[in-house]
């Protein structure tokens, strides 16, 4: 048996009888979800996320057929013990800091062709995952 970098042990495998360590990290990840509004700090896992402005909201309204789903791009301030930085996050995409991965996972309310969303109505959901 051989000990892999992640601490697990593997035996020889395959036609060449090689040691093959797992390529995915099987250790549990520390993760949390926070919800917050523009200008209001959301906190979790030792960091603070403050949505500053909606740079773009091109989501397809729920009452319209679109060829593209669109997205939301949000300017945020991320603060932690390691410092502060301003980032732009798009819906479903992640940014990685020194210690965390931050993903903008949802934005509500849904877009509608008959109602313009005001700044006060936006609610943002972020997932924060500690990096190992």
Kindly report, residue by residue over 11-68, the tens digit of the pLDDT: 887 777 888 887 765 555 799 999 999 999 999 998 999 999 999 999 999 888 888 8
Instruction: Tell me: pLDDT of 7 over 80.
Output: no
Question: 80 Cβ partners below 8 Å, 6+ apart?
Answer: 46, 47, 48, 97, 98, 99, 100
What is the reported pLDDT for 50?
96
What is the reported pLDDT for 68?
86
Average pLDDT value for residue range 64-92: 92
What is the reported pLDDT for 117?
93
Q: Which tokens belong to 33?
A: 């979800």
- What sign does the CA torsion over 39, 112, 55, 94 have? positive
DSSP code per residue over 23-47: SS--SPPPEEEEEE-TT--EEETTE
**Distance between CA 127 and CA 89 in Å, rounded?**
12
Kindly report, residue by residue over 85-129, the tens digit of the pLDDT: 999 999 999 998 888 899 999 999 999 889 999 999 999 999 999
Instruction: Tell me: pLDDT of 132 over 90.
Output: no
SS3 content of the chain, % helix, strand, coil (to 5): 0, 50, 50
E strand or H helix at 69: none
């Amino acid at each position: 048996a051989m000990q892999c970098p992640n601490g697990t042990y593997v035996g020889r495998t395959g036609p060449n009888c090689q040691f093959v360590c797992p390529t995915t990290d099987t250790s549990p990840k520390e993760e949390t979800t926070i919800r917050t509004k523009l200008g209001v700090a959301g906190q979790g896992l030792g960091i603070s996320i403050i949505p500053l402005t909606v740079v773009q909201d091109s989501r397809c309204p729920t009452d319209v057929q679109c060829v593209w789903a669109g997205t939301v791009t949000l300017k945020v301030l991320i603060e932690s013990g390691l410092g502060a930085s301003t980032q732009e996050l798009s819906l479903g995409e992640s940014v990685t800091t020194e210690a965390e991965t931050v993903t903008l996972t949802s934005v509500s309310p849904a877009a509608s062709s008959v109602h313009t969303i005001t700044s006060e109505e936006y609610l943002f959901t972020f997932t924060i995952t500690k990096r190992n």
